């Protein structure tokens, strides 16, 4: 029960844990495999098309999430009641999760933009491809 209470108080930790687990799994799988896995095995033109699509999609999600955060932040606290305190706490937790997810989407945008210019070899760079694949898991 303590674990669930801790997770309930720190909802922002869920995307972080899912990302770290997925990234470690993809990294270990790529290191243990003699051939490139998943996205690293794709042709450079296919990877470039996916990078471009990811940049657009992640940018849109990033902008929408920040707009929702801006809307949630401006909700006033009408009175000092327990209901208002519960609503304010819920808004704070949602804002934390959205900001954490936005951070991952920003990481996807930055990594995919860099990868679009640098990942042109026949076999994809495993570090870049796992950094692009892993943030999609928490979202």
In the predicted model, residues of the chain with pLDDT beneath 50 are none
Q: What is the pLDDT, as a whole number, of residue 16?
A: 81
Q: Could you give the angle at which helices 82-118 and 44-73 cross, rounded to 10 degrees? A: 160
pLDDT in tens, 52-79: 888 898 889 888 988 988 888 887 777 7
Neighbours of 51 (CB within 10 A): 22
**What residue spans define the domains of the chain?**
2-136
Q: Structure tokens of 82?
A: 């327990």
Go through the chain and tell me how many residues it has.
Answer: 139
């Amino acid at each position: 029960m303590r674990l669930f209470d801790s997770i309930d108080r720190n909802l922002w930790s869920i995307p972080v844990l899912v990302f770290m687990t997925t990234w470690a799994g993809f990294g270990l799988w790529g290191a243990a495999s003699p051939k490139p896995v998943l996205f690293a095995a794709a042709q450079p033109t296919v990877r470039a098309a996916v990078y471009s699509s990811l940049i657009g999609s992640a940018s849109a999600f990033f902008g929408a999430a920040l707009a929702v955060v801006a809307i949630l932040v401006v909700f006033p606290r009408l009175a000092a009641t327990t209901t208002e305190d519960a609503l304010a706490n819920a808004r704070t937790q949602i804002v934390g999760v959205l900001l954490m997810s936005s951070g991952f989407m920003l990481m996807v945008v930055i990594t995919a933009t860099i990868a679009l210019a640098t990942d042109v070899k026949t076999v994809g760079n495993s570090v870049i491809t796992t950094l692009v694949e892993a943030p999609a898991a928490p979202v």
